[in-house]
Amino acid sequence: MSTGPTEADIIQHTSSLPGVVAETADEASGAPELAWGDTFFHYDPDGRDPADRPFPFATIVTKDYGTFDAESHLDRPGVYRLNINVGRTEFERLTGHSPAAHPAHHHEFDYTALDEVLPHPVYATQSWISILNPGQRTAGQALELITRAHARAARRHR
C-alpha cells in the first residue's frame, strides 16, 4: 500500500529527536480505551509527570474516534494517520488557506486520500495537518515536518 515509513519508522525517527517523549496509549498508561494503540509525541526535556506534559506536537492515530473523528476512514486495513502541528504559516503554505479559514474550505479535501498532505479533518483550525500512510510522495516531507514541529515545540518550551 505504501513505500514510505511505517508507524514504527515514524516513532523511531521522532523519538530520536532531543527531548521527545513518545507515548503509545494503552491500559497501563491510564489513557482512555479509545486511544489505545495511538502514539503521542511530546517535547518534554524535563521529564514531567505524564499528566503535566504539554500538548503533543505530533501523533499517529490508527482508528476512527466514533463520529467525532471518522472522516479519514482509519478503519481500513493497514491505514494510519500521521498528524502534525505545523503552525499557522506552514499550514497556509501547505493548504493554500489559513487555519482560521479552513471551515470554508473543509469540503475541498478528500480526507481518505493516502500519501497526501491534508488539513487535519478536525484540528485544521489549530494548524494541524495530516498524512494517511506517508508514501513515495510525502515520506521525506513528513519527516521534515515532524522535525520542524519538534523545533517549534522546543522554542515554545524555552
Q: What is the pLDDT of residue 58?
A: 98
Q: How many domains does the chain have?
A: 1
Residue 79 lies in a domain: yes
Are residues 14 and 5 in contact, defined by beta-carbon separation less than 8 angstroms? no
Tell me the residue type at 103.
P
Concatenated DSSP letters of 56-69: PSEEEE-S-BTTTB
Q: Is the pLDDT of residue 91 over 90?
A: yes
> 10-14, 51-55, 65-69, 149-153: which has the minimum mean pLDDT?
51-55
- Determine, yes or no, domain membership for 2: no
Alpha helices in 64-121 (DSSP H): 88-95, 102-105
The CA-based diameter of the chain, rounded to the nearest angstrom, is: 41
Beta bridge partners of 114: 132
Question: Is 74 within the bounds of a domain?
Answer: yes
| pLDDT bracket for residue 158 (50, 70, 90) | confident
pLDDT in tens, 94-122: 999 999 999 999 999 999 999 999 999 99
Whether 15 contacts 24, CB under 8 Å = no
- Tell me if residue 23 falls in helix, strand or coil: strand
Tell me the sheet residues that pair with 22.
41
Q: Which three cell numbers stand for residue 94?
A: 501547505
Is residue 24 included in any domain, yes or no? Answer: yes
Any domain includes 70: yes
pLDDT of residue 49: 86
- Joined together, the cell numbers standing for residue 8 give 514504527
pLDDT at 80 over 90: yes
Half-sphere exposure of 75 (CA within 13 A, CB side): 8
- Which SS3 state, helix, strand or coil, does residue 28 take? helix
Q: Tell me: the pLDDT tens digits for 2-52?
A: 578 999 999 999 999 999 999 999 999 889 999 999 999 999 999 888 888
pLDDT of residue 2: 57
User: Of 86, 79, 156, 150, which Cα lies nearest the Cα of 123?
Assistant: 86
Average pLDDT (135-157) is 96
Asked whether residue 1 is assigned to any structural domain, the reply reads no
Report the residue count for the chain. 158
Q: Which domain holds residue 23?
A: 7-157
Please report whether residue 60 resides in a domain. Answer: yes
Instruction: In whole angstroms, give the CA distance from residue 27 to residue 25.
Output: 7
Residue 50: how many other CB atoms lie within 10 Å? 13
For 120-138, what is each residue's pLDDT tens digit?
Answer: 999 999 999 999 999 999 9
pLDDT value at 153 more than 90:
yes
